[in-house]
Amino acid sequence: MEISSILFVALLLVMLVVFLLELMTCKPPRAGPKLFNHCPPSYPIIGCLLSFYKNRRRLLDWYTEMLSQSPTSTILVQRLGARRTIITANPKNVEYMLKTNFKNYPKGKPFTDILGDFLGSGIFNVDGELWWKQRKLASHEFSTNSLRDYAMNALRKEVKNELLPALELVAEDGQTVDLQDLLKRLTFNLICKVSLGIDPCSLDLSLPNSPLAKAFDISSEICARRGAATLLISWKIKRWLGVGSERNLREAVQEIHTTIGRAIHEKIKKMDEKTRITSTNRLDLLSRLISAGYDEEIIRDMAISFIVAGRDTTSAAMTWLFWLLSCHPDIEQGLLREIELVAKGNELDYESLSELRLLDACLYESMRLYPPVAWDSKHAISDDSLPDGTLVKSGDRVTYFPYGMGRMEALWGKDPLEFKPSRWLSEAYLETSRELKKVSPFKFPIFQAGPRDCIGKQMAFVQMKYVVASILRRFDIKPVDEGRPVFVPMLTAHMAGGFQVSVHKRV
C-alpha cells in the first residue's frame, strides 16, 4: 500500500472518531443556502470528505451531475484537507473570473505549489509582473510570420516524412496502431522543433519513446495526482521524505532540466552576440528567448510550459475527434468532400486550411465534449461575490469547469451529449459565407479567455486541421474496440489505455 493510502486511512479513522463525538453533541447539519442545495452532503469537521472519497474516480461526472441540478450552475465543495472550493459552469461567473475581475483571481500559490517542481517559473505557472512580461514576449513571437512559416514547414515535413509513412506501413501489414500514442509522438516532435529546434523522437512505434517524452509524461501525471489528492498534505509528506511518486517526479524533472539545459547551451554557442541582438532569421522560440535576454532558468521554464501546452492538448483533441468520426460516418464523409473541394487535388497550405470550416466545427464540437483541459482553477485574493450571488472568501479555490459546461442543457440545448458539428455552423454556411457561429469564449472556455487566453490557439488549429485532413484523405481509421473510451483528466486529458485502430488505404 502506498504511503499516501496509509496516511489517508489513518487520518480517516481519526476523523471518524472526531465526527462521531461531534455528532453526539451537535444537531444534524441544516440545509445550506438555496444556492448550494445541490452540493454534496457535508458534516462537521470533515465536510464532504466521505462523498468526495467515494466519487474520487468519477469526479468529472459527479461534479457535472451536481452542477446540472444547481439553479445557478455553481456548487460549493468543502472537505477536510483541502481548500474551500467553488465550482462553476456559469458563463457569467467565468467571464467575471477571467476578465471582469481578473486581478482578484490569479492562479495563486496553491496552484503554483502543485506544479512548481515541474513548470517552475514558466508562463503557465506564474502571476503578476513575471507573467505579464512573458506573455508580452510570447504574444509578439507567436504573431510573427517567420514563426508561423517555420512551424508550418516543420509540420509539413513531419507529416509527409514521418506520420504518413508510419500509417502506410501499418495499413500494408494489416496491423493495428495506438493512434493516440502516434499523435502524441507527432505533436511532441513538432512542439520540440518549434520551441527548442530539436527533433527528440521517432514516430516508429516499434521503438521506445524518447527519455524526454517519458519524463514529460511522468511529470504531468504525478502533478495531476497532486491536485486531485483526497488529502493534499499526503504528496507534501512524500516529497519531504523523497519517496514513491515524488521521487519519480524529481528524477523526471531532472531529466527535463538536463535535456533542455543542454539545448539552451548548444543554441547559445551557435549564436554570437551580434546574431542575438540583430538577427531576423531566428526561427525556433528558444533562439528568440535567448535573443530577448532572459536568463537560462526562465528560458528553460518557458520552454517547458510551451511543450506541455503544445503537445498533449492537440494530440488529445485529434484522438477524440477520430473516435467521434468513426461513430458518425456521415459527418466523416462530409469532411472528406470539403477537404477535396478545398484542396482540388493539391497539397493543403496555410491559406486553404482556413477554408475548412466543417473541420473547424468538428474540432470545436469534439473539444466541447472532450476538452483537453477538463477544469482550471484560480485562487481569490480578496472576499468577493460572483455574478450569480455566490460568496467568495479570500483564499478560496474557484474552478471553472469546461467538461461540465459542455454537458449543460442550459448552454447547449436538449442534446448536449450528441456530437453535432452543425451547432457551430451559421445558417449561411451552405450558401456563401461559410462562417462559423460566434460563441462566447466564456461559454466555451477551452482556450481560456480574457487576458490569459491561449496565444497558440491559431497555431494549434492549423496543426490539427493539417494533420486530420492529411490522414483522412489517405486512410480510413477504424477503432478496434467498439466500446466507449474512458476520458481521463490529468493536466491534459487523454483516452485511457490508448486508441487502438486499424488503418486502411482509401481507394
Q: What is the DSSP string of 180-207?
A: HHHHHHHHHHHHHHHHHS-----S-TTS
- 210-223 mean pLDDT: 92
Summarised one tens digit per residue, pLDDT across range 118-157 is: 999 888 888 988 889 888 888 887 777 878 888 899 999 9
What's residue 26's pLDDT?
A: 39
Cell 496565444 -> residue: 455
Ramachandran sector of residue 359 (left: φ over 0; alpha: ψ -120 to 50; beta: rest): alpha
pLDDT at 226: 87
**73/389 Cα distance (integer angstroms):** 12
Q: Exposed, middle or buried by CB within 10 Å (0-12, 13-18, 19+), for 105?
A: buried
pLDDT at 273 over 70: no
**If 0-12 CB within 10 Å is exposed, 13-18 middle and 19+ buried, where does residue 459 land?**
buried
Give the pLDDT band (50/70/90) at residue 8: low
CB contact at 8 A, 125 and 119: yes
Cβ proximity of 194 and 155 under 8 Å: no
Cβ–Cβ under 8 Å, residues 368 and 443:
no
| pTM (predicted TM-score) | 0.88
Phi first, then psi: give them for residue 236, nearest 5 degrees.
-70, -35
Higher pLDDT, 278 or 59: 59
- Position 220, amino acid: S
Cβ atoms 101, 384 nearer than 8 A: yes
Per-residue pLDDT reduced to its tens digit, 332-372 = 999 999 999 998 888 888 888 999 999 999 999 999 999 99
DSSP labels for 404-445? HHTT-HHHH-S-TTS--GGGGB-TTTTTT--PBPP--TTTST
Phi then psi for residue 377, to 5 deg, are -120, 150
Domains of the chain: 1-80 (no CATH), 81-505 (1.10.630.10)
What is the tens place of the pLDDT at every residue in 17-51?
A: 444 434 433 343 343 344 455 678 788 888 888 88
Q: What is the per-residue pLDDT for 434?
A: 63
- Across all residues in the chain, what is the average pLDDT? 86
C-alpha 228/C-alpha 110 separation (Å) is 13
The DSSP secondary-structure symbol of 243 reads -
Better-predicted residue by pLDDT, 479 or 21: 479
> How far is CA 446 from each of CA 9, 154, 225, 265, 454, rounded to the nearest angstrom?
36, 25, 21, 35, 9
Q: Which pLDDT score is estimated for 2?
A: 53
Orientation of helix 296-327 relative to helix 244-270, angle to 10° = 110
Cell of 476: 480510413
**Pair type for strands 397-400 and 376-379:** antiparallel
Min mean pLDDT across 30-44, 163-177, 246-260, 359-373 is at 30-44
pLDDT digits (tens, 9 = 90+) for 413-445: 999 999 999 999 976 555 555 678 899 999 999
The pLDDT score that the predictor gives to residue 22 is 42
What is the spatial distance between Cα 134 and Cα 298, in angstroms, rounded to a whole number?
A: 9
- The yes-or-no verdict on residue 216 having pLDDT over 80 is yes
3-state DSSP helix/strand/coil % of the chain, to nearest 5: 60, 10, 30
d(CA 250, CA 124): 20
CB 416 within 8 A of CB 444: no
**If we measure between CA atoms, which residue out of 446, 405, 480, 463 comes closest to residue 176?**
480
**Cα 277 off chain centre by:** 34
Query: What is the C-alpha to C-alpha distance for residues 483 and 491, in angstroms, rounded to an integer?
Result: 25
Contact of 129 with 106, CB cutoff 8 Å: no
